[in-house]
Amino acid sequence: MSLKSNSLLVACTLMAMPVSADTIEVGPRPLYLIDQMQDGALKEKLLSCAGDPVKRTNFSIGHRGAPLQFPEHTVESYTAGVRMGAGIMECDVTFTKDKELVCRHAQDDLHTTTDILATELSPNCTAGFTPAAGDTEAAAECRTSDITLADFRSLTGKMDAADATATTVEAYMDGTANWRTDLYAANGGTLMTHAESIALFKDLGVKFTPELKSPAVDMPFDGFSQEDYAQKMIDEYKAAGIPASDVWPQSFELDDILYWIKAEPDFGKQAVYLDDSYDIDGWSPSDPATWAHSMEELKEMGVNYIAPPQWVLVTLEDGKIVPSAYAQAAKAAGLKIITWTIERSGPLNTGGGWYYQTITDATTGDGVMYELIDVLAKDVGVVGIFSDWPATVSYYASCMGLD
């Protein structure tokens, strides 16, 4: 049996298997993390739930499925995330050459998330593979807009990674970090269109948070405008009969959010602004004067949900994790807050990297993860947390009785 045929068989099997509150399994990782925590009331509370069934909750959001160990945005990754108790699942939305919507984290990530470089479609890529040489790293760039939907369907997903030191395509594609795994990618992941993700999530009994990804191509693309793109994403939920109350459309582009608020007010009420103001030179979560917009301005525009990365929402005071000025301002303005991304940083014993940058001094081991989640939930007041391994957040939310 071919790789693609086997992958499709696995996908069909997964989709046929019932997933419900009765089938939630979080595995050993939550208790592993709890074991790493310092003794105290939070650890005792989390340990007290060890024998309890985990309930599905909207607080637990599957970030691209469960990509800590499964190829992201695939049937296998999504199904794993749902089985871990996530109540909401994410499809990052981009488009193909024939303007069909598909689930990929970026329009230009096919060279790191699929097997395209090892297929006959490789010549279609915006930039083919070039090997590392001297101080020059290996590189490639393959976009969904380089290929048709039919071409896209012929690909298989892999763990998102590339080896910048590689001199061959095979080595370039084999770059998975040692704290992730290729164990569940051996047969390749089954790629999905956006419409197929809607059908799958509906069948699995979870809700939806699609992210409209910023195009890598100039817009309009062959007559396809940014507004056409934003509208098409919403239209696919309407065509599937999904109520707007079950959908949290996201974008880093404020103009997309404002378009939905105006053109699709039912969906716009839950549109999530992925605030990336942190990219502005001199920006600081502790200094409102550096923010692109005040929280009150965003609220006046009709924005109800804001979603910065987790480090933006916290800081340290006397060695303790506390809400940042940004988090306090968002809460005071009446904005609902969602954040990202737990379980994306690897082991935390060396500070946690980008996602923990405002609490580096307190990030000395994996047990800090639940301390951060607890502050985000109780003190910041977030209504949802994205995770690359939803079991971690699902266990916490269920234990704490969160919706």
Mean pLDDT of 264-276: 98
CB–CB of 247/207 below 8 Å? yes
* H or E element that contains 340: strand 336-342
| pLDDT band of 18, cuts 50, 70, 90 | low
> The tokens 């800090």 sit on which residue?
368
CA pair distance 20, 336, nearest whole angstrom: 27
State phi, psi for 280 to the nearest 5 degrees. Answer: -75, 135
| pLDDT band of 394, cuts 50, 70, 90 | very high
Tokens matching residue 176:
């998975």
Mean pLDDT of 207-216: 98
**Statement: residue 168 has pLDDT above 50:** yes
**Statement: residue 371 has pLDDT above 50:** yes
* DSSP one-letter string for 38-52: PSSHHHHHHHHTTTS
Query: Quick one: pLDDT at residue 23?
Result: 82
Summarize pLDDT for 19-46 with one digit per residue, the tens. 554 689 999 999 999 999 999 999 999 9
H helices of 58-158, in order, are 75-83, 110-113, 149-153
DSSP, collapsed to helix, strand or coil, labels residue 229 as: helix
Query: Quick one: pLDDT at residue 103?
Result: 98
DSSP, collapsed to helix, strand or coil, labels residue 358 as: helix
Contacts with 279 (C-beta within 8 Å, 6 or more apart), sequence order: none
Summarize pLDDT for 338-360 with one digit per residue, the tens. 999 999 999 999 999 999 999 99
The strand pair at 305-306 and 314-317 is best described as unpaired
Average pLDDT across the chain, whole number? 95
Query: Quick one: pLDDT at residue 22?
Result: 60
> The tokens 């692109």 sit on which residue?
292
Summarize pLDDT for 300-319 with one digit per residue, the tens. 999 999 999 999 999 999 99
CA pair distance 31, 216, nearest whole angstrom: 41
**CB burial readout 57-74, b (16+ within 10 A) else e:** bbbbbbbbbbbbbbbbbb
Query: Quick one: pLDDT at residue 14?
Result: 43
| pLDDT band of 183, cuts 50, 70, 90 | very high
Tokens matching residue 132:
């590392």
CB–CB of 386/397 below 8 Å? no
Which of 79, 83, 78 is CA-nearest to residue 63?
78
| pLDDT band of 13, cuts 50, 70, 90 | very low
Contacts with 245 (C-beta within 8 Å, 6 or more apart), sequence order: 266, 270
Query: Quick one: pLDDT at residue 248?
Result: 99
Mean pLDDT of 202-225: 98
Mean pLDDT of 235-253: 98
Query: Quick one: pLDDT at residue 20?
Result: 52
Task: Write down the pTM of the prediction.
Answer: 0.94
Tokens matching residue 335:
């904005």
Summarize pLDDT for 90-101 with one digit per residue, the tens. 999 999 999 999
CA pair distance 345, 386, nearest whole angstrom: 13
**Statement: residue 6 has pLDDT above 80:** no
CA pair distance 144, 59, nearest whole angstrom: 31
**Statement: residue 196 has pLDDT above 60:** yes
State phi, psi for 354 to the nearest 5 degrees. Answer: -55, -45
State phi, psi for 193 to the nearest 5 degrees. Answer: -80, 165
Give the CA dihedral 98, 99, 103, 107, nearest 10 degrees: 90
